[in-house]
Structure formats: structure tokens, C-alpha cells
Amino acid sequence: MPLEVVVRDVERADFDPWLRLWDGYNAFYKRTGPTALPRDITRMTWERFFDAYEPVHALVAAADGNLVGLVHYLFHRNTTMIGPTCYLQDLFTDEAARGKGVGRALIHAVYERAKDADATRVYWHTHKTNETAMMLYDKVAENAGFVMYGKTL
């Protein structure tokens, strides 16, 4: 059964519940223990959401007065289009709220923000083992078939 979800911009007062979700997201991707994301990166990420010069943004989903999801996205230039492109970087729903429309609401809110910014595309990556999320993604977007490569420097 879907939750009544309100998606809104993150606010400074949201730090503690956002951090709980952010830590859950990082734990999901096994960024804990020796591979944990350093707190200075978390603090800088948080500050970027409130810096008008940064292209990084955050939305949160609230249900029954509690934050149950987050999404981070950013705008960047692209060599194949005039307007900006929107990259949905992080999406996480509290485990108790999964399957209840939170992820879908967050994705659609990013779509709206992207349209408002004259972006013509929103895209994201997920790990190939994240099959539960991919069931949702297949309903709200198209799999472009690209394989992502990266190198940590």
C-alpha cells in the first residue's frame, strides 16, 4: 500500500534524519568499516546542498512526519545537447518504506526539477545486483544499455 509521501527540498534542520538515511545508503553499497565514506566527505556533501554555486541538490521524502527517503542529483553540461543534463546520483528509501511509492515519488520529483531547469534528460546508474530497484527503474525510465567504467585516481 502506497504511503502518503511529501517530497521537498532538504532543510538544514534535516541533518540528523538525512544522515541516518545517508548512512543506510552507504551501508547498502558496503561503504562501512575500513571502506566507510569519511565524515569530511559527508559534511562537504551536506554543505553543497545549501551552496547556490554548487550544482548538487537534495530532496527528501517525508511520511507521517519522518524522513523515509532521499535523492541527490546534479546538473552538468553535455556534448550532445544544448541544455543541461540531470544526473540522479543517489537514491535511497528506508527499508520499512520500500515498495510503497517513495522511490517513485523521489524520481518523479527529480524529473520535475530537471524540467524546471530546462534539462532534456535525467539518467542514473545502479549496481547490476540491485534487482529490486531495477524493477522500479524499468517502470519509470528506459535502460539505455550502457556499461559504466571508472577508475579511482
Q: What are the DSSP calls for 23-36, one per residue?
A: HHHHHHTT--GGGP
Kindly indicate the confidence band of residue 152, based on its pLDDT and cuts at 50, 70 and 90. Answer: confident
Q: Calculate the alpha carbon distances from 93 to 18, 23, 74, 99 in Å.
A: 11, 12, 19, 9
Kindly indicate the confidence band of residue 37, based on its pLDDT and cuts at 50, 70 and 90. Answer: confident
Dmax (CA) of the chain: 44
CA angle 96/130/37 to nearest 5° reads 80
- Among 62, 136, 130, smallest CA distance to 97 is for 62
Residue entry with cell 545517508: 22
Domain ranges of the chain: 6-140
Q: pLDDT tens, 50-77?
A: 999 999 999 999 999 999 999 999 999 9
Q: Calculate the alpha carbon distances from 38 to 20, 26, 71, 111 in Å.
A: 15, 11, 20, 30
Percent of the chain with pLDDT over 90: 75
Q: Calculate the alpha carbon distances from 131 to 2, 48, 78, 135, 138 in Å.
A: 20, 30, 29, 6, 10
As a whole number of angstroms, the distance between CA 107 and CA 5 comes to 13
The half-sphere exposure of 75 on its side-chain side, counting CA atoms within 13 A, is: 20
Q: Please name the residues in contact with 97: beta carbons below 8 A apart, sequence gap of 6 or more.
A: 3, 61, 63, 68, 69
- Among 9, 28, 12, smallest CA distance to 73 is for 9
Superfamily of domain 6-140: Gcn5-related N-acetyltransferase (GNAT) (3.40.630.30)
Q: pLDDT tens, 77-94?
A: 999 999 999 999 999 999
